[in-house]
């Protein structure tokens, strides 16, 4: 039976991961994800989880250790943030290329510089093209649920890819929320033991991480792209099963108040909760506004997006990262590009918001919707803006 | 005889994660095709000291039953280290083709 708990979300994430019985955990502490591996090390030390907790000297080694562990057939977990994730960069595309189903929780934090420990999503956007499945949680309950789902998705035989689960630093990691924690029997029934494609073992010959010369590299990249795209089916199946077993619905894009919406916001992560409050209030005032919460980032949910924006006239994508000198925030450029060839598409605009822990309040969304209302009549010239910047 | 396939033809045939499930597969990749210069061994100058064998980074030089050394041209990349190290000047590098 699931149990109702009140707990800091990072600790709840660690408890949920422990229920998945990882066999190797390798992590290096970095704010704001620290409480996740810290609490897991407590759980291991207390004897509640039979796992190898490797106190590595760096994040580069944390992910390398997870790759080695996963290669031997162990269920491997790591967690990090910001510079720690950046320090893993060299190993990140290797984990996916080697088809190692490692699960990583990212407590999203701004990349330096200037040095900043607070929340935005520039860290994961930096790793966008690495071939991992990437998902965003909006609240504590979703963190618990998606932590458990991540292992099942990653380890499915048709997938065998690493997953990164994103939760906003502080806004989620350090907040206490009421949540439902599944029990061990429920998780065991949902999540089978890990059956690797091959294991590094002296008795069975296998080479992993092989050389790919020009004669094979194109085909290897096509295979990597195809397997990531095809993971969508497994992700949807896992979410369907979750709904049946635990009653909570997960979709690649969650629609809120989209019926008859002329204006729609697109959010990722915890600010979707705040935006929902704003949308509710505006709807009461008769403003035809809705909200799309983008949960699945990779593989990108093209089909769901095209369907969700039917009838929308202005779509405002809210980004929590900048692509300096580029076309706008990463979510914006992907959303606009996904819709470009559609015959009937909304005008797409971009607000980059909440960088480096800058508060994002209900009234900010109200102001953004007012801008979108103006855009219904006169299209703004700039593709994007950093919202609330002083001096502009 | 059917020509032996060196690479998986299509992307669908690629092993997951490019894993290789048999030992010694590197042997099938004949690096001799990289070679621009080929080593020529002059037995009249060779003192059979074996330095070329020791220095060859490819491990492709071996000794015959008479004690003389030769490079396996299927794998020799033509780096010229053997010729550089040879005391007696028995090895010369000659352009291919």
HEC states along chain B?
Answer: CCCCCCCCCCHHHCCHHHCECCCCHHHHCCHHHHCCEEEEECCCCCCCCCHHHHHCCCCCEEECCCCCEEECCCCCCCCCHHHHHCCCCCEEEEECC
A249 touches chain B (CB under 8 A): no
Report helix, strand or coil for A83.
helix
Does residue A153 form part of some domain? yes
A223 touches chain B (CB under 8 A): yes
* Position B3 confidence tier, pLDDT thresholds 50, 70, 90: low
- What distance in Å separates residue B4's CA from the closest CA in chain A? 15
Say if residues A136 and A269 touch (Cβ distance below 8 Å): yes
Choose among A197, A213, A216: nearest Cβ to B16.
A197
Test A210 with B20 for CB contact under 8 angstroms.
Answer: yes
| Domain boundary, last residue among A246, A270, A285 | A246
Residue with structure tokens 């396996």? B72
- What distance in Å separates residue B20's CA from the closest CA in chain A? 5
Nearest Cα neighbor of A172 from A132, A233, A121 is: A121
Could you tell me the two tokens for A308?
A: 């969700």
- Residue B25 has a pLDDT of 84
- Cα distance between residue A60 and residue A26, in whole Å: 10
- What distance in Å separates residue B97's CA from the closest CA in chain A? 24
Does residue A391 form part of some domain? no
* Chain B residues in contact with A223 (beta carbon < 8 A): 11-12, 14, 16
Does residue A126 form part of some domain? yes
| Domain boundary, last residue among A222, A246, A270 | A246
Question: Could you report the per-residue pLDDT of B70-87, keeping only the tens digit for each?
Answer: 999 999 999 999 999 999
* Chain A residues in contact with B28 (beta carbon < 8 A): none
- Cα distance between residue A26 and residue A53, in whole Å: 6
Choose among B7, B17, B21: nearest Cβ to A97.
B17
- With 0.90 as the threshold, say if the pTM is over it: yes
- Residue B6 has a pLDDT of 64
A/B interface, count of CB pairs below 8 Å: 55
Beta bridge partners of A167: A107
- State the residue range of the domain holding A195: 3-246
* Chain B residues in contact with A212 (beta carbon < 8 A): 18
Strands (E), chain A: 3-8, 24-27, 52-55, 76-80, 103-108, 133-136, 163-168, 176-181, 253-256, 263-267, 289-294, 296-298, 314-319, 347-352, 384-386
Residue A387 CB contacts under 8 Å (≥ 6 apart), including other chains: A351, A352, A353, A364, A368
* Chain A residues in contact with B8 (beta carbon < 8 A): 216, 219
% of chain B at pLDDT higher than 90: 79
Residue among A210, A211, A215, A227 with most chain B CBs within 10 A, to mutate: A210
* Chain B residues in contact with A226 (beta carbon < 8 A): 11
Does A217 sit behind a cis peptide bond, omega within 30 degrees of 0 on the bond before it? Answer: no
> H/E element holding A89?
none
On whether both A232 and A293 belong to a single domain, the answer is: no
Test B17 with A98 for CB contact under 8 angstroms.
Answer: yes
Test B21 with A205 for CB contact under 8 angstroms.
Answer: yes
> H/E element holding A258?
none
Question: Could you report the per-residue pLDDT of A52-105, keeping only the tens digit for each?
Answer: 999 999 999 999 999 999 999 999 999 999 999 999 999 999 999 999 999 999
B28: phi then psi, degrees, rounded to nearest 5: -75, -15
On whether both A139 and A282 belong to a single domain, the answer is: no
Does residue A71 form part of some domain? yes
On whether both A193 and A320 belong to a single domain, the answer is: no
Residue with structure tokens 């045939």? B13
B46: phi then psi, degrees, rounded to nearest 5: -70, 130
Report the pLDDT averaged over residues B19-32.
88
On whether both A66 and A122 belong to a single domain, the answer is: yes
Does residue A275 form part of some domain? yes
Environment class of residue A311 by beta-carbon count within 10 Å: exposed (0-12), middle (13-18) or buried (19+)? Answer: middle
- What distance in Å separates residue A211's CA from the closest CA in chain B? 8
Domain count, chain A: 2
Question: Could you report the per-residue pLDDT of A321-362, keeping only the tens digit for each?
Answer: 999 999 999 999 999 999 999 999 999 999 999 999 999 999
- Residue B1 has a pLDDT of 45
Chain A residue with CA closest to B25: the answer is A207
Say if residues A388 and A364 touch (Cβ distance below 8 Å): yes
Could you tell me the two tokens for A38?
A: 């810290």
Say if residues A124 and A109 touch (Cβ distance below 8 Å): no
On whether both A54 and A162 belong to a single domain, the answer is: yes
- Residue A316 has a pLDDT of 98
> H/E element holding A162?
none
Report helix, strand or coil for A88.
coil
DSSP state of A207: B
* Chain A residues in contact with B25 (beta carbon < 8 A): 207
Say if residues A161 and A131 touch (Cβ distance below 8 Å): yes
| Residue ranges, chain A, pLDDT below 50 | none
Strands (E), A130-248: 133-136, 163-168, 176-181
* Chain B residues in contact with A218 (beta carbon < 8 A): 11
- Residue A343 has a pLDDT of 95
A207 touches chain B (CB under 8 A): yes
- What distance in Å separates residue B8's CA from the closest CA in chain A? 8
Please give the domain boundaries of chain B with CATH numbers for all domains: 34-95 (3.30.70.20)
- Residue B97 has a pLDDT of 81
DSSP state of A204: B
A72 touches chain B (CB under 8 A): no
- Residue B27 has a pLDDT of 86
Does residue A315 form part of some domain? yes
- What distance in Å separates residue A73's CA from the closest CA in chain B? 14
Does residue A392 form part of some domain? no
Could you tell me the two tokens for B89?
A: 């000047």
- Cα distance between residue A83 and residue A347, in whole Å: 35
On whether both A261 and A375 belong to a single domain, the answer is: yes
CA dist list (Å): A375 to A172, A210, A287, A310: 32, 52, 14, 18
| Domain boundary, last residue among A246, A276, A303 | A246
Test B19 with A208 for CB contact under 8 angstroms.
Answer: yes
- Residue A304 has a pLDDT of 98
Could you tell me the two tokens for A327?
A: 């076309």
User: Where residue A349 sits, what CATH number does that domain have?
Assistant: 3.40.50.920
On whether both A271 and A125 belong to a single domain, the answer is: no
- What distance in Å separates residue B47's CA from the closest CA in chain A? 38
User: Where residue A7 sits, what CATH number does that domain have?
Assistant: 3.40.50.970
A230 touches chain B (CB under 8 A): no
Indicate left, alpha or beta for A347 from its phi (over 0: left) and psi (-120 to 50: alpha).
Answer: beta
Instruction: Please check the confidence at residue B24 and state whether its pLDDT lies above 90.
Output: no
Question: Could you report the per-residue pLDDT of B26-59, keeping only the tens digit for each?
Answer: 888 889 999 999 999 999 999 999 999 999 999 9
ipTM: 0.84
- What distance in Å separates residue A104's CA from the closest CA in chain B? 19
A207 Cα distance to chain centroid: 31
On whether both A338 and A378 belong to a single domain, the answer is: yes
On whether both A241 and A257 belong to a single domain, the answer is: no
On whether both A104 and A228 belong to a single domain, the answer is: yes
A94: phi then psi, degrees, rounded to nearest 5: -70, -40
On whether both A277 and A197 belong to a single domain, the answer is: no
On whether both A92 and A172 belong to a single domain, the answer is: yes
DSSP state of A46: T
* Chain B residues in contact with A219 (beta carbon < 8 A): 7-8, 10-11, 13-14
- Residue B2 has a pLDDT of 52
Nearest Cα neighbor of A315 from A299, A334, A295, A335 is: A335
* Chain A residues in contact with B11 (beta carbon < 8 A): 218-220, 222-223, 226
């Amino acid at each position: 039976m699931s149990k109702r708990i009140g707990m800091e979300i990072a600790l709840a994430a660690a408890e949920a991961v422990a229920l998945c019985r990882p066999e190797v955990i390798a992590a290096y502490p970095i704010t704001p994800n620290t409480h996740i591996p810290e609490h897991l090390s407590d759980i291991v030390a207390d004897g509640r989880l039979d796992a190898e907790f490797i106190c590595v000297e760096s994040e580069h080694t944390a992910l390398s250790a997870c790759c080695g562990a996963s290669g031997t057939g162990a269920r491997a977990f790591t967690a990090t943030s910001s510079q720690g994730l950046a320090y893993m960069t060299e190993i990140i595309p290797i984990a996916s290329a080697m088809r190692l189903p490692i699960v990583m929780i990212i407590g999203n934090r701004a990349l330096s510089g200037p040095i900043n420990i607070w929340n935005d999503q520039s860290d994961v956007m930096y790793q966008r093209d690495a071939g991992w499945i990437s998902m965003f949680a909006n609240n504590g309950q979703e963190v618990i649920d998606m932590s458990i789902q991540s292992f099942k998705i990653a380890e499915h035989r048709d997938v065998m890819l690493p997953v990164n689960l994103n939760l906003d630093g502080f806004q989620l990691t350090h907040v206490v929320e009421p949540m439902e924690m599944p029990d061990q029997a429920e998780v065991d029934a949902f999540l089978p033991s890990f059956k690797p494609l091959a294991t590094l073992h002296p008795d069975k010959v296998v080479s992993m991480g092989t050389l790919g010369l020009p004669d094979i590299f194109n085909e290897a990249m096509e295979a990597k792209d195809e397997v990531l795209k095809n993971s969508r089916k497994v992700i949807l199946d896992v979410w369907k099963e979750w709904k049946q077993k635990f009653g909570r619905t997960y979709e690649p894009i969650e629609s809120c108040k989209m019926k008859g919406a002329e204006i729609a916001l697109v959010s990722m992560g915890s600010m979707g909760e705040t935006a929902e409050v704003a949308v509710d209030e505006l709807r009461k005032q008769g403003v035809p506004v809705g909200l799309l919460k983008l949960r699945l980032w990779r593989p990108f949910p093209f089909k769901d997006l095209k369907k969700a924006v039917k009838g929308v006239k202005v779509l405002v994508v809210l980004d929590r990262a900048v692509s300096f000198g580029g076309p706008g925030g990463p979510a914006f450029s992907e959303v606009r590009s996904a819709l470009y060839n559609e015959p009937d598409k909304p005008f797409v605009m971009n607000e980059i918001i909440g960088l480096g822990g800058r508060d994002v309040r209900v009234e900010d969304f109200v102001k953004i919707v007012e801008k979108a209302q103006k855009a219904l009549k006169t299209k703004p010239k700039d593709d994007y803006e950093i919202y609330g910047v002083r001096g502009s | 005889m059917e020509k032996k396939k060196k690479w998986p033809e299509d992307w669908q045939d690629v092993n997951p994660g490019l894993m290789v499930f048999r030992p010694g597969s590197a042997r099938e990749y004949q690096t001799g095709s990289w070679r621009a210069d080929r080593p020529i061994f002059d037995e009249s100058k060779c003192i059979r000291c074996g330095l070329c064998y020791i220095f060859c980074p490819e491990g492709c030089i071996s000794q015959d039953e008479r004690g003389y050394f030769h490079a396996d041209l299927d794998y020799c990349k033509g780096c010229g280290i053997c010729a550089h190290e040879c005391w007696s000047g028995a090895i010369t590098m000659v352009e291919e083709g």
